């Protein structure tokens, strides 16, 4: 079977639970040899997620009815919602041309860094592997957390474009009490759409990922 990796950009916010089911279904299809996967780009309806190291004491304020999903990914607590781009690269990383999980994880982190620097004008954006995200000095702007089975991940990356940053104040984000959170809008004062940033990431990914053709 020829390697062909698809992508999909959702125009409207998506329910977290439904997207998790879609990721798992996609992963199962990849493992069964039915296809080589899809990279999903979207916003979520407001939700908090708690990774494998998340604890109840990391919730510090009322969540105002926003649901919480405890999930099997690396990391602790984070928030997803409108104004934040979420990227789920559910692909067979070996057929995509990567030699290791680490190489794959770092590739998307560095790609987000590059888009922030070159397209958004945030010259100090830097992917820091040990801190699982992209930072602008002491401010975190993008996040990562994945779970692999047979070299196929679910979950992925999130990038703050212009979300309500107060949503992070109800938790200890990423398990880091002093973690400051920022966004593209906060750093530059400029407006960007979910689709425009998704397209910039895709253009760079298409040059590296085997089987990904960007239209």
- Helix pair angle (194-206, 101-118), 10° resolution: 130
How far, CA to CA in Å, does 157 sit from each of 19, 35, 60, 63?
Answer: 14, 22, 24, 22
* Beta bridge pairs of residue 49: 69, 78
How far, CA to CA in Å, does 139 sit from each of 20, 107, 178?
Answer: 28, 21, 10
Domains in the chain with CATH codes? 6-206 (3.30.930.10)
Greater confidence, 139 or 65?
Answer: 139
Q: Report the pLDDT value the prediction gives residue 182, as an integer from 0 to 100.
A: 97
What digits encode the pLDDT tens for the residues 147-205? 999 999 999 999 999 999 988 887 776 666 778 999 999 999 999 999 999 999 999 99
Greater confidence, 24 or 66?
Answer: 24
What digits encode the pLDDT tens for the residues 3-22? 799 999 999 999 999 999 99
| Local confidence band at 55 (pLDDT 50, 70, 90 cut-offs) | low
Q: What is the pTM of this model?
A: 0.93
Range 137-143 average pLDDT: 96
Give catalytic residue positions: 174
């Amino acid at each position: 079977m020829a390697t062909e990796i698809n992508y999909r950009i959702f125009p409207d916010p998506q329910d977290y639970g439904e997207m998790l089911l879609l990721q798992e279904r996609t992963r199962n299809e990849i493992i069964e040899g039915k296809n080589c996967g899809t990279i999903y780009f979207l916003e979520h309806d407001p939700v908090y997620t708690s990774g494998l190291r998340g604890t109840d004491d990391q919730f510090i304020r009322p969540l105002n009815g926003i649901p919480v999903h405890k999930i099997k990914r690396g990391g602790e607590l984070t928030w997803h919602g409108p104004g934040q781009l979420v990227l789920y690269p559910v692909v067979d990383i070996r057929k995509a041309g990567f030699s290791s999980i680490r190489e794959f994880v770092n590739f998307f982190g560095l790609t987000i860094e590059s888009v922030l620097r070159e397209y958004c004008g945030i010259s100090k954006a830097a992917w820091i592997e040990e801190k699982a995200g992209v930072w602008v000095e002491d401010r975190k702007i993008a996040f990562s957390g994945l779970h692999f089975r047979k070299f196929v991940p679910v979950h992925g990356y999130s990038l703050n474009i212009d979300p309500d940053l107060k949503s992070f104040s109800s938790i200890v984000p990423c398990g880091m009490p002093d973690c400051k959170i920022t966004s593209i809008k906060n750093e530059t004062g400029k407006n960007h759409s979910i689709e425009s940033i998704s397209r910039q990431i895709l253009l760079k990914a298409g040059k590296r990922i085997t089987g990904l053709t960007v239209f």
